[in-house]
Amino acid sequence: MSEANKDICEMHIIDRRCREQFVPLLDNGPLEQTGVTLAGISRLEGKYCIGRVPSSFTLILATTKGEGQLTLYSGIQTLKENDILIAPKHSIYKYELGKSKRWDIVWFHLFDSGKQHETSLNTDVKVIRTKYTLLLKEETQQLMHEISDNKYLADEARRAKESYLSVLLKRLLAGRRNPVISESEKIVRQVWQKIECNLNADWSLERIAKLSGYSAGHFNRLCKQYFSCSAMRYLTDMRMRYGYYLLGSSRLQLKSIAELCGYNNEFAFSVAFKRKFGYSPSHVRLQIARSL
C-alpha cells in the first residue's frame, strides 16, 4: 500500500461553500423501488472529502463539471467531466475535490438488499466514461424543477422522471461484472445484510455468528479477513453510518435516532458518533442546514 493511500478512513469534510440539493423521493416511487434512499446535486468548492470504510451502500456519482480525486488502496485517479464512479456496497474508497476550484456532481445512494441487483456483492470500484452523465444531470435537474414548481400533475411528472432515472441507474449497475467470491464470504455478507435491516436489536457476537452457522470465533476471523476489522467494530460502523444518514435525511430527534441505531440514550450514541467521525451529531445537522 502506498503512503498516499494509508489515510483512507471514514470521514466527512464539507466546506460551508459547498452547496448540496437533496432530492425528495416519492414514497414507494420508482427510485425507492430501485433501492435509492438518498440522491442529490452538489456544487463543491473549498474543502470537500468523503471517506467510506467500508461503504454501507452502493454509490453512483457522476462528474458534470470540474474534477475530483478518487483514492483507492490500489492507487489514485482523477474523476473528470463525464466520468461516473460506481462504488459497490462494502467497498473502501475516498473521494474529494481535486486541483480544480469547483466540482459539480450528481449522486445516488442505493441500499440494495442483494435481491434487487445481482451485483450487490461486487466490491470492485469502477469508473466509466459515458453519455449517461449528462442524462443523469438533466433528468435530476428536471425532477427538482417539478418538485419546486409543484404544477398540475406534478406527482405524475415526478414519477415519470424517477422511472427514467431508475432505468439509467439499472443500466449502469447491469454493466458491472460479478466477481467470484467464496461461499464463506457470501454467507458473512448475507448476515450483515440481515443485521442492517434491524440495527436497533441487542446484537452480540454470539447472536450475530449464530445467523451464519459459524462459531463466534470463526465468524470474527472471517470479518477480519473480509472487512479488516472485528465483527463488533463492523456493527458499530454500520450503526454510525446509519445514524449519519438519519441525521441528514430526517427530522427525527436525536433520542429517536439513537434508539434506531441500537443505543439506549442519545448520550451514548453521541459519544460513539464523535469517536467515529471526529465531530458531534449536532455538527452534522448544522452543516446540512447550511447547505440547504
pLDDT in tens, 211-256: 999 999 999 999 988 777 899 998 998 898 888 878 877 889 999 9
pLDDT band for position 119 (cuts 50, 70, 90):
very low
Helices 281-291 and 231-249, axial angle in degrees (round to 10): 40
Question: Are 159 and 225 part of one and the same domain?
Answer: no
Higher pLDDT, 263 or 146: 263
- CA-only gyration radius of the chain, Å: 19
Question: Are 15 and 147 part of one and the same domain?
Answer: yes
CA 249 to CA 266: how far, in whole Å?
Answer: 18
Chosen domain end from 174, 198, 220:
174
Question: Are 169 and 198 part of one and the same domain?
Answer: no
The CATH number for 275's domain is: 1.10.10.60
Query: How many Cβ atoms sit within 10 Å of the Cβ of residue 272?
Result: 18
Beta strand 102-110 with 58-66 is antiparallel
Chosen domain end from 142, 174, 206:
174
How many domains does the chain fold into?
2
pTM: 0.59
Per-residue model confidence as pLDDT tens digits over 35-89: 898 999 999 999 899 988 778 789 999 999 999 999 887 788 999 999 999 998 8
Question: Are 212 and 162 part of one and the same domain?
Answer: no
CA torsion sign for 288, 169, 89, 50 is negative
Question: Are 74 and 215 part of one and the same domain?
Answer: no
**CA-based nearest residue to 103, from 20, 44, 15:** 44
Chosen domain end from 174, 191, 224:
174
Q: What is the mean pLDDT of the chain?
A: 84
The CATH number for 151's domain is: 2.60.120.280
**CA-based nearest residue to 87, from 213, 173, 193:** 173
**CA-based nearest residue to 192, from 229, 138, 156:** 229
The per-residue pLDDT for 114 is 41
Instruction: Identify the domain containing residue 189 by its residue range.
Output: 183-291
Question: Are 42 and 125 part of one and the same domain?
Answer: yes
